[in-house]
Amino acid sequence: MMDLLEFIQKHWGLVATVIGSVWAGMKLSMDSKYPKRSEIDEIRKNIDQVEQRLTKVEDTLEHMPTKEDLSALKILMTEIKGETNTTNARLSTLSHQVALLIEERVKG
């Protein structure tokens, strides 16, 4: 044990350099393997932003019509179009009859 202490006393500069080099090597090795705290915080912030965007998209999709809803709407619009055409034909006939009645009333 005394030999070690004597060696350290005689060569403290060399020992400090070796210990410092080993520490620096370990620090560099760990920096390349593990992310820094600031990088982790930035990743967490990005994840939170993506989660907020995803929540907005999910909320929007909840209120949008489904395929079945659109199909039912298309059928209803087709029915309305048919009824409108029928109503137009009836109005045309009725308009003609009113015109004839007015003409007869004016002549008569």
Name the residue type at position 40.
I
pLDDT by 10s per residue, the chain, length 108: 778 778 778 888 888 898 899 888 888 777 677 778 888 899 999 999 999 999 999 999 999 999 999 999 999 999 999 999 999 999 999 999 999 999 888 887
For residue 39, give both structure tokens: 């990088």
Give the pLDDT score at 42: 94
Residue 102 to residue 77: CA distance in whole angstroms:
36
| Helices and strands in the chain, H and E counts | 4, 0
Q: What are phi and psi of 34, to 5 degrees?
A: -120, 145
Tell me the pTM: 0.45
CB atoms within 10 A of CB 15: 13
